[in-house]
């Protein structure tokens, strides 16, 4: 064979072999997704089709300057089809991610790393809970609108370019459905009320002596700013017993102590701790204009794209604008022609835990003197690139049954959660949008079965309202009402929730009656920030509330505004939302300065800065930067040894209110708080000297990432300096990845302003992917008009003959 022939053969083999090998190897799959032009991932760079056909009738979608869709139609069905189309165009991947997470099918596309979460969610049967909720709203207008919404989503899946993330992960979404929307609702509810705190408390009560436990985990934090201050709030107050102190305010009682490893295992599946929010309203009697003003910023996970999707829907006499969770058709918090409403998390205890006597095979459990089979079902968790898992889902009369071997011993707990029943909150939020004033809203609130929330409302006629949403169980043991902060004896049927049917339709008769939940008709002003609701509720409400730092600041500001000469208007409410005073610092810094003679010389400049500090966590503050790291060291110095001695990690440490108010001679300080402060100071100085930060804003920069930003860094939002911290009204929790998920102020006689921590369009290729982030970081706002100019961006054409829907 001559050289030329050999050369041809080699090159021929290279071309044919190279192409064939690429086609048959994983490279071929990558080329199919990412090759220029033909790669499926790049479909996301195409434009959304500007017309779509709908069986529900015509509608238009017009985006405003911040890519907020204004959906206009003659009928609500036609509008909600268009809402589904718009949400899918902008957030389909986010919607699908939540659906997969709650169904326990995320590992099917994301692989081994999320298997544990999938298995937990399957065993909790969130899908069964969503199906029960679908049954609860069957036959209502809400179901019809949600069906139209699902059809709109599916029209987009059929016709629109799929978001980039589907190409990156290499899968396509399945059809959307009513149950899928309700799964999103279940995630929200579990995220806000899911808790295994009771188990942690049981472990703590077991490991600490009774006095220490009581001091560090008091039933009530003694700040003076509960949400409901009967002597100041005005209006018609509900849910206060009039006894002066909470009836069941004793420290937690403990049933069967539960193993810490088991509690820690379940703790891994708890929603992130301390998700909170701020909301308040001031009635017209205290405002400059004579009309009420409502302010709301909800603190949730900060992520790219944001947890909220802003939308306006105008149809059938309803005109509502606000934020919805992607996948939920309706505005959750927002305003319409008649009023505005907002939420904060209540912290009510709506999860109870039970233990049972079980047989040796663990196939039956004892219940009220009889052996019962577990309600059992086998499901498969599919795992991309890994081994699929066969999961046995077990249930008892109370709800889910979670078991696990710990050190060769079987541990278990039965879980009852109000959200496991059919719940109608989707109907409630739909009705909020349709409401024509306070009376309509009060009626809709009775449908709001979950989650438990502090709800504030004002209408344009000057009426105001505060109410607690959600079903709250009443537990009785031996005829006495008790708190839910212990593990109950499930076999004895102890403290069961009367009228509760998990994964079915509850009658709720054993729950706190609507009129006995904390509420006020026509409050003159009220502030909520996840602190305790009221000193003296008719029934026990919560197990653990926020420390009250934000609640304190909001009331200090509102009290001063109402009592002083300041004009209470939108601008003032924006100022309060931007408040960065850290009450921890205000409480602790005097003690730090008092201990100055024990501090190292290297701390002098920081101590000088703190001496002149206004306790604000502002980006240009050196004192704020130092306090941030001082406080972290102070916590460590105070708690770490104590808790390591009893085998518990930092997730068991007390709340911050407890730490900053501990007496200086408390045993946690070894009787010498000044010494602990000095050691913390030394650590903080060492830490800061190892870093390049000069002021708080050098450290306190936004970290708002995409769920797959670890793999594709470009999807993460840029980093900007910002103000505030975990315990300030202007809220940003850098380490926790949480903070103000929106900020909105609704004056009832003026222009609403708002901002999102990112952008409304979830497409990486969109100019609106992160166009609000800088505004958010800087504490600025933009208008949120309920009208829009210009031609529609998307025209929904009604298909003739199918419009009956």
Partner 1 sequence: MSAETTAGGPDSQGRFSRATAAVRTGDRGRRWLVTAGAVALGLVLATGHWMGLVLGGAFVGVLQRDLKRAVLGGLLFGLVVLGAFVLVAPRLEAGELLALTPAAYVTLGAGLGLPLLGSLTRGVV
Instruction: Give the integer Cα–Cα distance in Å for 685 and 679.
Output: 10
Binding window for partner 1 (CB under 8 A); candidates: 11-19, 144-152, 404-412, 442-450: 11-19
Q: How far apart are the first and last CA of the chain?
A: 75
- The strand pair at 59-63 and 794-798 is best described as antiparallel
Question: Is residue 169 involved in binding partner 1 (CB under 8 A)?
Answer: no
Stretch 394-413 residues interacting with partner 1 (CB under 8 A): none
- Residue 742 sits at the vertex; the CA angle it makes with 738 and 747, to the nearest 5 degrees, is 145
Question: Is residue 712 involved in binding partner 1 (CB under 8 A)?
Answer: yes
> Which one of residues 525, 717, 764, 781 is an interface residue with partner 1 (CB under 8 A)?
764
Question: Is residue 705 involved in binding partner 1 (CB under 8 A)?
Answer: no
Nearer to partner 1, 37 or 804 (CB): 37
> Which one of residues 140, 289, 574, 766 is an interface residue with partner 1 (CB under 8 A)?
766
Nearer to partner 1, 20 or 600 (CB): 20
Binding window for partner 1 (CB under 8 A); candidates: 70-78, 194-202, 565-573, 760-768: 760-768
Task: Report residue 335: phi and psi, to 5°.
Answer: -145, 155
Question: Is residue 763 involved in binding partner 1 (CB under 8 A)?
Answer: yes
What contacts 688, CB < 8 A, 6 or more positions away?
A: 606, 625, 626, 629
At 332, list the tokens.
Answer: 């959750």
Question: Is residue 38 involved in binding partner 1 (CB under 8 A)?
Answer: yes
CB 362, min distance to partner 1, A? 46
Nearer to partner 1, 724 or 762 (CB): 762
Question: Is residue 760 involved in binding partner 1 (CB under 8 A)?
Answer: no
Angle between the 622-645 and 673-689 helix axes, to the nearest 10 degrees?
120
Question: Is residue 170 involved in binding partner 1 (CB under 8 A)?
Answer: no
Question: Is residue 720 involved in binding partner 1 (CB under 8 A)?
Answer: no
At 142, list the tokens.
Answer: 């809400």
CB 99, min distance to partner 1, A? 24
Q: For the chain, give the number of residues.
A: 805
Question: Is residue 598 involved in binding partner 1 (CB under 8 A)?
Answer: no
In which residue are the tokens 């059992």 written? 376
CB 183, min distance to partner 1, A? 29
Helices and strands: H and E segment counts in the chain: 23, 30
Question: Is residue 35 involved in binding partner 1 (CB under 8 A)?
Answer: yes
DSSP state of 140: S
> Which one of residues 765, 785, 795, 803 is an interface residue with partner 1 (CB under 8 A)?
765
In angstroms, what CA-CA distances link 20 with 5, 35, 37?
22, 16, 20
Question: Is residue 6 involved in binding partner 1 (CB under 8 A)?
Answer: no
With b for 16 or more beta-carbon neighbours within 10 A and e for fewer, the 353-369 pattern comes to: bbbbebeeeeebbbbee
Please report how many Cα atoms fall inside a 13 Å half-sphere around the Cα of residue 189, on the Cβ side: 32
Q: Are 463 and 355 in contact (CB under 8 A)?
A: no
Tell me which residue of 781, 678, 761, 661 sits closest to 717, measured CA to CA.
761
CB 172, min distance to partner 1, A? 17
CB 95, min distance to partner 1, A? 20
Q: Are 739 and 272 in contact (CB under 8 A)?
A: no
Binding window for partner 1 (CB under 8 A); candidates: 35-43, 56-64, 259-267, 317-325: 35-43
Binding mask 46-85 for partner 1 (x = CB under 8 A): xx--------------------------------------
At 469, list the tokens.
Answer: 């949403």
How far does Cα 4 stand from its chain's mean position? 70
| Beta bridge mates, 754 | 744, 782
Question: Is residue 25 involved in binding partner 1 (CB under 8 A)?
Answer: no
Question: Is residue 591 involved in binding partner 1 (CB under 8 A)?
Answer: no
Question: Is residue 40 involved in binding partner 1 (CB under 8 A)?
Answer: no
> Which one of residues 478, 692, 714, 790 is an interface residue with partner 1 (CB under 8 A)?
714
Binding window for partner 1 (CB under 8 A); candidates: 38-46, 196-204, 541-549, 595-603: 38-46
User: Is 3 exposed, middle or buried, given 0-12, 13-18 or 19+ CB atoms closer than 10 A?
Assistant: exposed
Task: Report residue 393: phi and psi, to 5°.
Answer: -90, 120
Question: Is residue 250 involved in binding partner 1 (CB under 8 A)?
Answer: no
Nearer to partner 1, 48 or 295 (CB): 48
CB 708, min distance to partner 1, A? 11
Question: Is residue 774 involved in binding partner 1 (CB under 8 A)?
Answer: no
Question: Is residue 356 involved in binding partner 1 (CB under 8 A)?
Answer: no
Sequential DSSP letters for 498-520: TT--TTS----TTB--GGGSSEE
Tell me which residue of 442, 446, 416 sits closest to 513, measured CA to CA.
446
> Which one of residues 45, 566, 602, 611 is an interface residue with partner 1 (CB under 8 A)?
45
Binding window for partner 1 (CB under 8 A); candidates: 20-28, 246-254, 607-615, 661-669: 20-28
Instruction: Give the integer Cα–Cα distance in Å for 89 and 79.
Output: 15
236-238 sheet: strands from edge to edge: 51-54, 794-798, 59-63, 69-73, 309-315, 318-324, 333-336, 339-345, 453-459, 464-468, 519-521, 236-238
Question: Is residue 713 involved in binding partner 1 (CB under 8 A)?
Answer: yes
Question: Is residue 19 involved in binding partner 1 (CB under 8 A)?
Answer: yes
CB 44, min distance to partner 1, A? 8
Instruction: Give the integer Cα–Cα distance in Å for 498 and 636.
Output: 44
Using DSSP's 3-state secondary structure scheme, residue 285 falls into helix
Instruction: Give the integer Cα–Cα distance in Å for 310 and 500.
Output: 34
Binding window for partner 1 (CB under 8 A); candidates: 15-23, 334-342, 396-404, 741-749: 15-23
Question: Is residue 232 involved in binding partner 1 (CB under 8 A)?
Answer: no
Question: Is residue 12 involved in binding partner 1 (CB under 8 A)?
Answer: yes
Residues that bind partner 1 (CB under 8 A): 7-8, 11-12, 14-15, 18-19, 22-23, 28, 30-39, 41-42, 45-47, 167-168, 711-714, 763-766
């Amino acid at each position: 064979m001559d050289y030329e022939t050999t050369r041809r053969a080699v090159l021929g083999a290279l071309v044919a072999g190279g192409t064939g090998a690429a086609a048959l190897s994983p490279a071929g799959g990558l080329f199919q997704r990412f090759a220029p032009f033909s790669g499926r991932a790049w479909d996301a760079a195409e434009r959304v089709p500007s017309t779509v056909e709908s069986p529900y009738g015509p509608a238009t979608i017009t985006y405003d300057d911040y890519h907020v869709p204004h959906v206009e139609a003659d009928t609500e069905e036609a509008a909600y089809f268009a809402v589904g189309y718009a949400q899918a165009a902008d957030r389909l991947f986010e919607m699908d991610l939540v659906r997969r997470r709650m169904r326990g099918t995320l590992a099917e596309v994301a692989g081994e790393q999320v298997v544990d979460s999938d298995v937990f969610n399957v065993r909790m049967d969130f899908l069964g809970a969503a199906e029960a909720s679908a049954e609860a709203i069957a036959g209502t207008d809400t179901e019809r609108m949600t069906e139209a919404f699902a059809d709109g989503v599916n029209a987009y899946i059929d016709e629109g370019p799929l978001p980039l993330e589907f190409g990156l992960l290499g899968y396509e979404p399945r059809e959307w459905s009513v149950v899928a929307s309700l799964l999103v609702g279940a995630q929200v509810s579990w995220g806000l009320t899911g808790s295994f705190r009771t188990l942690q408390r049981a472990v703590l009560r077991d490991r600490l002596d009774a006095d220490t436990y009581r001091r560090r985990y008091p039933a009530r934090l003694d700040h003076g700013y509960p949400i409901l201050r009967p002597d100041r709030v005005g209006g018609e107050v509900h849910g206060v017993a009039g006894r002066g102190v909470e009836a069941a305010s004793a420290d937690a009682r403990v049933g069967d102590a539960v193993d810490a490893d088991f509690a820690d295992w379940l703790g891994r599946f708890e929603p992130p701790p301390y998700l909170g929010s701020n909301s308040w309203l001031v009635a017209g009697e205290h405002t400059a204009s004579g009309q009420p003003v409502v302010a709301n910023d909800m603190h949730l996970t900060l992520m790219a794209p944001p947890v909220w999707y802003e939308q306006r829907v105008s149809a059938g006499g309803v005109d509502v604008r606000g934020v919805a969770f992607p996948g939920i058709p309706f505005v959750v918090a927002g305003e319409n022609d008649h009023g505005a409403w907002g939420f904060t998390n209540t912290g009510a205890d709506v999860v109870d835990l039970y233990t049972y006597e079980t047989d040796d095979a663990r196939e039956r459990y004892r219940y009220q003197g009889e052996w019962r089979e577990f309600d059992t079902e086998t499901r498969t968790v599919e795992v991309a690139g890994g081994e699929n898992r066969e999961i046995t889902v077990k249930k008892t009369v109370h709800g889910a049954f979670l078991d696990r071997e710990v050190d060769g011993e079987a541990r278990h707990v039965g879980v009852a959660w109000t959200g496991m029943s059919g719940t109608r909150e989707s109907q409630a939020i739909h009705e909020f949008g349709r409401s024509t004033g306070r009376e309509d809203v009060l009626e809709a609130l009775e449908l709001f079965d979950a989650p438990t929330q502090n709800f504030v409302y004002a209408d344009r006629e000057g009426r105001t309202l505060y109410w607690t949403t959600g079903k709250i169980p009443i537990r009785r043991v031996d005829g006495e009402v008790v708190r839910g902060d212990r593990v109950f004896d499930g076999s004895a049927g102890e403290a069961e929730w009367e009228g509760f049917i998990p994964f079915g339709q509850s009658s709720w008769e054993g729950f706190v009656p609507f009129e006995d939940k904390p509420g006020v008709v026509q409050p003159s002003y009220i502030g909520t920030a996840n602190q305790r609701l009221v000193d003296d509720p008719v029934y026990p409400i919560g197990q653990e509330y926020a420390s009250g730092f934000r609640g304190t600041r909001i009331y200090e500001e509102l009290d001063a505004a109402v009592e002083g000469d300041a004009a209470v208007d939108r601008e003032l409410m924006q100022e309060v939302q931007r408040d960065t005073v850290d009450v921890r610092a205000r409480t602790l810094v005097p003690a730090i300065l008092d201990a100055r003679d024990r501090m190292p010389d290297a701390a002098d400049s920081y101590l000088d800065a703190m001496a002149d500090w206004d306790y604000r966590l502002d980006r240009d503050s050196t004192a704020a930067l130092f306090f941030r790291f001082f406080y972290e060291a102070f916590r460590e110095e105070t708690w770490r040894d104590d808790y390591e001695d009893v085998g518990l990690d930092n997730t068991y440490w007390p709340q911050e209110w407890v730490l900053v108010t501990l007496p200086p001679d408390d045993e946690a300080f070894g009787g010498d708080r000044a010494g602990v402060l000095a050691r913390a100071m030394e650590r903080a100085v060492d830490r800061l000297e190892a870093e390049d930060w000069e002021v708080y804003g050098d450290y306190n920069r936004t970290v708002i990432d995409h769920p797959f930003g670890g793999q594709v860094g470009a999807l993460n939002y840029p980093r900007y300096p910002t103000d505030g911290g975990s315990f300030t009204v202007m809220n940003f929790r850098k380490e926790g990845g949480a903070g103000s998920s929106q900020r909105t102020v609704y004056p009832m006689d003026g222009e609403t302003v708002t901002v999102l921590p990112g952008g409304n369009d979830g497409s990486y290729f969109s100019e609106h992917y992160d166009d609000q982030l800088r505004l958010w970081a800087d504490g600025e706002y933009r208008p949120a008009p309920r009208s829009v100019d210009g031609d529609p961006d998307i025209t929904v054409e009604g298909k003739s003959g199918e419009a009956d829907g």
